[in-house]
């Protein structure tokens, strides 16, 4: 089985995010990046399939400038076999569909049996790339899965619905699955793994290498403006020393008749 | 706006509230409103949607559509688009919307704005407003081409309550095979930790930094207040607390008399689960955290200093 795991590099959870001067994106020149959390669960699931069947090949892919190589190396350190970085000037300002078209070109060329990725990314929260990629790759998909297992040659997954309900569906391969957070316990790269990762292949591809033109990936969706949402009246903020705050807190609890 | 197609959803045998929210949004944009309802034996619900502002309701009714499946839904929506040629297609951002909308956009090679909260006319064009970066920022999106698709956050618009005249038209040829096979809906056994009846809930988030702090820092306040402990999704995902502690759209929906959110930034999925609490107090070190938008009272500061002080104050008030 050959698995393609799509990883997006996003600003680190603890990065202090500021708007870029043009007001269309965040100022991302000097912040730390990490693998999108949802994608980590997808990668872990792929590695678990490989743990059970060592003949499995896990290929990780990320679209982005050279900083994404660090995330790809991390994935290789965790156990992926090889990595592909896709970057091209034509992908600056790419929308979800452009990203999906690029990934689909690779999925087709690699003839993968399974594509795994996160349900959404922590930066844009679009939750679109997975189903788009599946449609372009011509395979069925299931989104927001919390488990997967091989069931008589098919893949049986549990999709998370609302309020704790799960939908169980079966898909033939090839197919695409997007992972919900918490679906497994994500491993860390071992020191040995990190050493080995340095020798694993990391190929860099342009749009031309994928057989795509810049026109084919021209974005249909553009961020016109990114801004701090206008705040409503918001909360009454309690101020003072921590003991003064505690007394005010106590006052509120008493007013509610809960003390 | 010339014509908007609403893709309706059925939940527990009734029209899903989010579908009626799409009606509000579509009618606000003006122009023709048409709807699509997909299911098996759901003609009555289609009539219902027509009366509730859905306009002309296309009914995709077939035994193979009894349960959601991607191929069946995509087929039905494509049929509706062919029949009505809408400029805008509205789908709710639900587990079904997530699954089908992106695939549909790719199949039609059209632009899509997902998880939208507002759509504002701007001259002849539309601006799609949505949250980004886990609600830290808002974005205004432009989407080119026709048709355009938007998926809309449930709860972001009021459900339409007007009574209108409409019609139901059955779509033909909507049944067929699906590559994905539905097996069953599994409902996780309810845990012993029922938060839905709690009077006071104190919930902890990632701001508590490690699992031991739920015991060491949060629990004294929980006990002093006689509260129940809750948690945000990242805490449960990390395995710090079991799923039965999770408050949010994929956990428990709660409405206690007092909800105290500690170190929780306020991701939408959490807010959905607790915003109907009678009174909300939030403690967070980031003054810009979205949780302060829904809170009645906020405390901006280091929870590791503040929470013990709160616990001590409550304890001494009760003891004295």
Residue B89 in contact with residue B7, Cβ under 8 Å?
A: yes
Question: What pLDDT sits at residue B288?
Answer: 85
Among chain A residues, the shortest Cα distance to B240 is held by A182
What are the structure tokens assigned to B91, written together?
């789908």
Question: What pLDDT sits at residue A197?
Answer: 95
* Residue A140 near chain B (CB below 8 Å): yes
Selected residues 44-63 of chain B with any CB under 8 Å from a CB in chain A = none
Asked if residue B320 has pLDDT above 60, the reply is no
* Residue B139 near chain A (CB below 8 Å): yes
Asked if residue B64 has pLDDT above 60, the reply is yes
Note the pLDDT tens digit of each residue in B198-231.
999 999 999 999 999 999 999 999 999 999 999 9
Question: What pLDDT sits at residue B124?
Answer: 86
Question: What pLDDT sits at residue B269?
Answer: 83
Asked if residue B268 has pLDDT above 90, the reply is no
- In this prediction, residue B192 has a pLDDT band, given cuts at 50, 70 and 90, of confident
The enclosing H or E element of B179 equals none
Q: How far apart are CA A239 and CA B301, in angstroms?
A: 10
Phi, psi of A6 (to 5 degrees): -95, 125
Collapse the DSSP code of A178 into the 3-class scheme (helix H, G, I; strand E, B; otherwise coil) and give the result: strand
Residue A34 in contact with residue A66, Cβ under 8 Å?
A: no
- In this prediction, residue B319 has a pLDDT band, given cuts at 50, 70 and 90, of confident
* Residue A187 near chain B (CB below 8 Å): no
Say which residue the tokens 């304890």 belong to. B315
| Torsion angle of the four alpha carbons A159, A165, A170, A176, in this order, in degrees rounded to the nearest 10 | -10
* Residue B165 near chain A (CB below 8 Å): no
Question: Least CB-CB distance to B183: which of A17, A168, A172?
Answer: A168
Question: What pLDDT sits at residue B163?
Answer: 94
What do you get for the CA distance between the two ends of chain A, in Å?
Answer: 61
Q: B243 and A234 in contact by Cβ < 8 A? A: no
Report, as an integer, the average pLDDT of B296-303: 95
What are the structure tokens assigned to B232, written together?
């945000």
Question: What pLDDT sits at residue B193?
Answer: 87
Q: How far apart are CA B221 and CA A231, in angstroms?
A: 29
* Residue A31 near chain B (CB below 8 Å): no
Q: Which residues of A touch B249 (CB under 8 A)?
A: 162-163
Residue A29 in contact with residue A22, Cβ under 8 Å?
A: no
Among chain B residues, the shortest Cα distance to A127 is held by B98
Report, as an integer, the average pLDDT of B260-269: 92
Could you give the ipTM of this predicted complex? 0.93
Distance (Å) from the alpha carbon of B108 to chain A's nearest alpha carbon: 10
What are the structure tokens assigned to A239, written together?
């101020």
Question: What pLDDT sits at residue B190?
Answer: 65
Q: Which residues of B touch A249 (CB under 8 A)?
A: 281, 297, 299, 310, 313-314
Is the entire prediction scored with pTM above 0.95? no
Q: By mean pLDDT, which of A34-43, A131-140, B128-137, B299-308 is the weakest? A: B128-137
Distance (Å) from the alpha carbon of A201 to chain B's nearest alpha carbon: 31
Report, as an integer, the average pLDDT of B229-236: 95
Asked if residue B1 has pLDDT above 70, the reply is no
Residues, chain A? 259
Question: What pLDDT sits at residue B189?
Answer: 67
Asked if residue A44 has pLDDT above 80, the reply is yes
Report, as an integer, the average pLDDT of A202-216: 97
Residue B259 in contact with residue B229, Cβ under 8 Å?
A: no
Sign of CA dihedral B318, B279, B130, A117: positive
Report, as an integer, the average pLDDT of B28-44: 96
Phi, psi of A27 (to 5 degrees): -75, 105
What are the structure tokens assigned to B109, written together?
């090679």
Q: Pairing relation of β-strands A154-160 and A165-171?
A: antiparallel
For residue B14, what are the β-bridge partners? B11
Question: What pLDDT sits at residue A162?
Answer: 83
- Give me the percent of chain A exceeding a pLDDT of 70: 99
Q: How far apart are CA A59 and CA A75, in angstroms?
A: 9
Q: Which residues of A touch B135 (CB under 8 A)?
A: 229
Chain CA centroid to CA A80, Å? 16
Distance (Å) from the alpha carbon of A199 to chain B's nearest alpha carbon: 31
Instruction: Work out the number of other CB atoms within 10 angstroms of the CB of residue B121.
Output: 12
Q: How far apart are CA B267 and CA B207, in angstroms?
A: 13
* Residue B315 near chain A (CB below 8 Å): no
Distance (Å) from the alpha carbon of B57 to chain A's nearest alpha carbon: 26
* Residue A14 near chain B (CB below 8 Å): no
* Residue B199 near chain A (CB below 8 Å): yes
Note the pLDDT tens digit of each residue in B84-120.
999 999 999 999 999 999 999 999 999 999 999 999 9
Q: From start to end of chain B, where are the E strands?
A: 3-7, 10-11, 14-15, 32-39, 56-61, 88-92, 112-122, 125-132, 137-143, 148-152, 167-170, 181-187, 200-204, 228-231, 258-262, 280-284, 297-300
Note the pLDDT tens digit of each residue in A74-132.
999 999 999 999 999 999 999 999 999 999 999 999 999 999 999 999 999 999 999 99
What is the pLDDT of chain B when averaged over all its residues?
94
Q: Which residues of A touch B149 (CB under 8 A)?
A: none
Selected residues 91-130 of chain B with any CB under 8 Å from a CB in chain A = 93-95, 98-107, 109-115, 127
The enclosing H or E element of B107 equals helix B95-108
Q: From start to end of A47-162, where are the E strands?
A: 57-63, 82-86, 114-118, 141-151, 154-160
* Residue A25 near chain B (CB below 8 Å): no
Note the pLDDT tens digit of each residue in A107-119.
999 999 999 999 9
* Residue B296 near chain A (CB below 8 Å): yes
What is the pLDDT of chain A when averaged over all its residues?
95
Nearest to B250, CA basis, from B158, B114, B154: B154
Question: What pLDDT sits at residue B249?
Answer: 84
Question: What pLDDT sits at residue A230?
Answer: 76
Q: How far apart are CA A118 and CA A39, in angstroms?
A: 4
Q: How far apart are CA A72 and CA A61, in angstroms?
A: 7
Question: Least CB-CB distance to A131: which of B99, B136, B184?
Answer: B99
């Amino acid at each position: 089985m050959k698995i393609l795991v799509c990883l997006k590099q996003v600003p680190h959870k603890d990065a202090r995010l500021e708007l870029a001067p043009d007001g269309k994106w965040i100022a991302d020149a000097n912040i730390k990046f990490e693998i999108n959390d949802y994608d980590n669960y997808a990668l872990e699931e792929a590695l678990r399939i490989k743990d059970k069947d060592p003949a499995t090949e896990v290929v990780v892919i990320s679209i982005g400038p050279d900083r994404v190589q660090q995330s790809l190396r991390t994935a290789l350190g965790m156990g992926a076999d090889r990595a592909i970085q896709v970057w091209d000037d034509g992908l600056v300002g790419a929308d979800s569909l452009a990203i999906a078209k690029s990934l689909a070109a690779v999925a087709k060329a690699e003839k993968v049996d399974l594509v795994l990725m996160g349900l959404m990314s922590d930066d844009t929260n679009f939750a679109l790339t997975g189903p788009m990629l599946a449609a372009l790759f011509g395979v069925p998909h299931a989104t927001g899965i919390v488990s997967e297992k091989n069931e008589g040659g098919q893949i049986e997954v549990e999709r998370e619905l609302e309020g704790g309900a799960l939908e169980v569906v079966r898909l033939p391969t090839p197919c695409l699955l997007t992972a919900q957070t918490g679906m497994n316990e994500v491993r860390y790269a071992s020191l040995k793994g990190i050493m080995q990762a340095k020798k694993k292949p990391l190929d860099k591809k342009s749009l031309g290498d994928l057989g795509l033109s810049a026109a084919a990936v021209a974005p249909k969706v553009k961020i016109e403006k990114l801004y701090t949402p206008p705040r409503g009246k918001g909360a009454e903020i309690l101020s003072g020393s921590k003991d003064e705050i505690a007394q005010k807190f106590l006052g509120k609890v008493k007013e509610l008749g809960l003390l | 706006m010339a014509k908007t197609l609403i893709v309706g959803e059925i939940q527990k045998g009734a029209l899903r509230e989010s579908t009626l929210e799409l009606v509000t949004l579509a009618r606000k944009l003006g122009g023709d409103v048409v709807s699509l309802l997909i299911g098996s034996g759901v003609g009555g619900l289609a009539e219902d949607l027509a009366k509730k502002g859905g306009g002309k309701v296309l009914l995709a009714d077939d035994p193979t559509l009894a349960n959601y499946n991607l191929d069946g839904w995509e087929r039905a929506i494509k049929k509706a688009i062919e029949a009505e040629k809408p400029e805008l297609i509205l789908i709710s951002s639900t587990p079904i919307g997530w699954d089908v909308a992106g695939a549909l956009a790719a199949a039609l090679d059209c632009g899509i704005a997902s998880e939208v909260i507002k759509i504002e006319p701007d001259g002849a064009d539309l601006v799609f407003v949505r949250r980004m970066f886990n609600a830290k920022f808002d974005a205004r999106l432009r989407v080119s081409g026709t048709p355009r698709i938007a998926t809309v956050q449930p709860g972001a618009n009021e459900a339409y309550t007007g009574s209108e005249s409409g019609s139901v038209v059955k779509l033909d040829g909507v049944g067929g095979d699906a590559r994905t096979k539905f097996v069953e809906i599994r409902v996780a056994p309810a845990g012993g930790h029922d938060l839905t009846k709690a009077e006071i809930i104190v919930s902890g988030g990632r701001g508590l930094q490690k699992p031991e702090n739920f015991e060491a820092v949060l629990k004294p306040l929980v006990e002093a207040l006689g509260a129940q402990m809750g948690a945000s999704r990242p805490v449960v995902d990390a395995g710090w607390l079991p799923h039965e502690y999770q408050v949010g759209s994929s956990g428990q929906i709660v409405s206690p008399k007092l909800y105290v959110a500690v170190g929780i930034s306020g991701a939408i999925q959490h807010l959905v689960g607790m915003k109907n609490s009678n009174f909300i107090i939030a403690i967070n070190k980031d003054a810009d955290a979205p949780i302060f938008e829904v809170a009645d009272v906020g405390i901006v500061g280091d929870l590791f200093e503040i929470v013990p002080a709160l616990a001590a104050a409550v304890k001494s008030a009760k003891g004295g």
